[in-house]
Amino acid sequence: MTRLSVNINKVATLRNARGGNNPDVLQVALDCEAFGAQGITVHPRPDGRHIRYADVYALKPALRTEFNIEGNPSRDFMDLVLAVCPTQVTLVPDEPGQLTSDAGWDTRANLSFLSDVVTECRRKGIRTSIFVGTEPETIEYAARTGADRVELYTEPYAAAYAAGADEAVRPFVEAASLARSLGLGVNAGHDLSLENLAHMHRHIPWLGEVSIGHALICDALYLGLQETVRRYLECLK
């Protein structure tokens, strides 16, 4: 079964716009779980513009489902991950001031660095996932790091979906098949939505997890959070 992990960064963005604790990030995470989501994702950034390190520490003991922490594995980020011990850490090559993730790793150029990070996480029993594009070499070198999974960067799929869904998903099916043949689990994330998620899942039913934040929170403004989570789960049946 493909798990739905709700990225709650945008909830924290709204909270931080006014200060205080409204909306309550922790309560929203617990509500997502209660509504059926099988995981919670956060992506703390160095500038603290949405999820803060304090949120991560507060979430870990309260969550009952899988906890996924995304981010660039700087020393501060890794100290946080190793202290909290989430279910999964997703390694993303973000620059400090980057608006959002917009590319996967060059796993060949960063093989030694990523291998060291994966080893650190394995010692603490943390599952590792490396954020990648669909290039075969990138996936082959991701496997060499010893990581458990890759997360496919799906913005190109979302951008091409309206012009031709089958053509848009093809490179992702090929990449996911290669990853599986190399013993890697496969996750997916970035710009997945109610419009395009079911099509991807039909073509890659062995996805371990999809991580969805921006589109899901936008949908919740109109549909309500419970109905939105239900509809995303329907896309994964």
Active centre residues (catalytic): 43, 70, 190
Q: Are 126 and 91 in contact (CB under 8 A)?
A: no
CB neighbour list of residue 80: distance below 8 Å, 6 or more residues apart: 44, 53, 56, 69
Torsion of CA 178, 86, 97, 130, to 10 degrees: -10
CA distance 156 to 168: 8
Cβ atoms within 10 Å, residue 155: 16
Helix axes of 25-34 and 53-62: crossing angle, nearest 10 degrees: 40
Q: Are 49 and 38 in contact (CB under 8 A)?
A: no
| Bridge partner residues of 71 (DSSP) | 91
DSSP secondary structure code for residue 93 in this structure: -
The two tokens of residue 36 are: 């059926």
CA distance 203 to 20: 43
CA distance 196 to 75: 36
Q: What's the full length of the chain, in residues?
A: 237
Instruction: Tell me the residue type at 227.
Output: E
